[in-house]
Chains A and B, each alone.
Chain A
Amino acid sequence: MNQLAAAKLDSKTDKGSLANERVKQSPSQVNNIEVIYDHVILVLKGVSLEVPEGSIVSILGANGAGKTTSLKAISNLLRSERGEVTKGSIEYRGNNITEKSPAELVTEGVVQVMEGRHCFEHLTVEENLMTGAYTRKGGKAMINKELEKVYHYFPRLKERRTSLAGYISGGEQQMVAVGRALMAEPNLILLDEPSMGLAPQLVEEIFEIVKRLNEETGVSFLVAEQNATIALKYAHYGYILENGRVVMDGAAKDLSNNEDVKEFYLGLGGDGRKSFRDVKHYRRRKRWLA
């Protein structure tokens, strides 16, 4: 917990007064949740996370560690995949949101950008963005204002506004997906695997924009990412998931300096080949409720 507080402090000093206003809001919290798919497949075995307002938090882990499931548990897109939060609770701004529908959550400002971009292929770029404002009340003027905002961050989308989203490049699709989420005026964006299938340079570009958005508009991000190097570079705080458990967490800087993280996630072992038998599996330290 000390580490977390330190990270929060860190991000605050970085951002000055804008951040100070946000601090009053209590952080979004995931409290020891267990997720079961199809009534039998236990995927998350007690995951606890915390996303302070106005911060970027990343979840790292290998395939099948439970990153996507954690995000979907928060946005409640689990239900349609026959998944269920069976234990624990999820809190957002002090309210329990575990049972809320995705539509309600979007209205309250929690929006997920799904893995693999999921643009509406047969809609134009601009129409894609406009669907993002579906839950918002307000007329054309509001939508145009929001569109301008998105185009300000993603100038490339403005050039392609009339193209069908199915025909634009992968990087542009990722921008559409993030831009679409922005249209809902979110407080917390759950960003799932933004680097998937993109060239390294584009990944960098996307994360730069995420950082700018975070700093300039104060949106919090919870980013699930396999690319640990880049995720830790841009995040304030990180969690490492293995087999549906949080095995480690800490300020992004500390994580990237941690020997084991370097070894297993950043590919910076250094001392030649190691026997697989020596690889240490993290055991989650008991924390909070568990």
Chain B
Amino acid sequence: MLDFLFFVEVLLSGLLTGALYSLVALGFVLIFKASGVFNFAQGAMMLFAALSLVGVQEMLGVHWTIAFIITVGIMIALAWCVEKFVLGKLVNQEPIILFMATIGVTFFLDGFGQTIWGSDIKILDIGLPNGAFDVGGVFIDQLELVAGLTAGALVIILAIFFNKTKIGRALRAVADDHQAAMSVGISLRYIWIVVWTVAGLVGLVAGIMWGSKLGVQFSLSLIALKALPVLMLGGFTSIPGAIVGGLIIGAGEKLAEIYVGDLVGGAIENWFAYMLAMVFLLFRPQGLFGEKIIERV
């Protein structure tokens, strides 16, 4: 009985950590879906958002909600700048070129954020609950629970946004065919600003969660690397995929660490996700929920 409870606890903790991965992965999916660009800068955006939030809060000494609103403004401005100075110049280029451009954005953001706000580890405290509580013998981390719920809520909002609204439809249209989207009068500039803003806001939410957990520091941007296996598992174009992929990776790595780790000398958690992703690439390259590559015969 005790063993089973322990198993449930590990599983739950894994799933909730997975939800945190999903939050990061979501940002990637959004931009990839809407512009076919793999945004390498998503991790840097998350770090930048979290840094800005803490920085604004410290500098102005205001309540976090006000700092949050200002940071939202900063992320919109960032999206505008990225479109204006980087992507806007590269319309209709190969995806690989756009990808390289986002690597450039990554370096810029990493440096810029730390130049403005400093590179010390900062504590982000917006009053999220800390500590664990006990449900029938299973301990659940409160922060992780909040993160899980937030991820769920975000997915629902985004799903509605993408499938039911005019802008959402336009975003998907742009993802499919830039030229055709332009021919029906969709302005690429506007769409790209919208999508980078949305990705920036998702990054902000992810940054808040991870920042509360680990403190705001440079290594936050490296969590984005964990989002890669999540994406390979879930599919680069699927929002639910990002969530499910995150959950599988989160739970998988925790369980593997506890139950398999001892057999191979431990520390599986760090590379398990990548192995899993590689296996997936071999058998189902589009991921669990990725859009099938349509080929008409």
Contacts and interface: CB of A to CB of B under 8 A. Distances in A.
B183 A114 contact: yes
B38 to A, nearest CB: 17
Residue in B166, B176, B178, B181 whose Cβ sees the most chain A Cβ within 10 Å: B176
A75 to B, nearest CB: 7
A118 B294 contact: no
Contacts of A132: 184
A100 to B, nearest CB: 11
Contacts of B173: 120, 123, 128, 131
Residue in B92, B185, B291 whose Cβ sees the most chain A Cβ within 10 Å: B185
B169 A122 contact: no
A124 to B, nearest CB: 10
Contacts of A114: 179-180, 183
A135 interface: yes
Interface string A141-167: 000000000000000000000001011
B153 interface: no
B98 interface: no
A186 to B, nearest CB: 10
B170 interface: yes
Interface in B3-29: none
A106 B185 contact: yes
Given A164-B294, A166-B294, A120 B176 contact: yes
B182 interface: yes
Contact of B184 (A80, A81, A166, A180): A180
| B interface SS class | helix
Given A103-B185, A131-B186, A118 B169 contact: no
A184 interface: yes
Contacts of B184: 106, 111, 131-132, 134-135, 180-181, 184
Contact of A123 (B172, B179, B182, B188): B172
A80 B92 CA distance: 6
A3 to B, nearest CB: 31
A127 B170 CA distance: 10
Contacts of B180: 114, 118-120
A41 to B, nearest CB: 16
B177 interface: yes
Indicate the size class of the contact surface on chain A.
Answer: 35 or more
B187 interface: yes
Indicate the size class of the contact surface on chain B.
Answer: 20 to 34
A266 interface: no
Given A103-B187, A120-B173, A80 B296 contact: no
Given A80-B91, A121-B294, A123-B172, A75 B187 contact: no
Given A123-B172, A131-B184, A184-B184, A80 B179 contact: yes
Contacts of B187: 101, 103
A120 B177 contact: yes
Nearest to B92: A80
A134 B176 contact: no
Contact of B170 (A101, A105, A131, A181): A131
Nearest to B180: A118
A46 interface: no
Contacts of A131: 169-170, 173, 181, 184, 186
A89 interface: no
Interface string A108-139: 00011110001111110001101110110000
A74 to B, nearest CB: 12
A175 to B, nearest CB: 15
B88 to A, nearest CB: 11
A118 B179 contact: yes
A111 B176 CA distance: 19
Given A81-B92, A120-B173, A167-B294, A134 B166 contact: yes
B183 A120 contact: no
A77 interface: yes
Contacts of A184: 184-185
Contacts of B169: 123, 127, 130-131, 134
A101 B182 CA distance: 9
Given A107-B185, A112-B183, A131-B173, 4 more contacts: A120-B180, A127-B169, A132-B184, A134-B186
Interface of A: 75, 77, 80-82, 101-103, 105-107, 111-114, 118-123, 127-128, 130-132, 134-135, 164, 166-167, 170, 180-181, 184
Interface of B: 91-92, 166, 169-170, 172-173, 175-188, 291, 294, 296
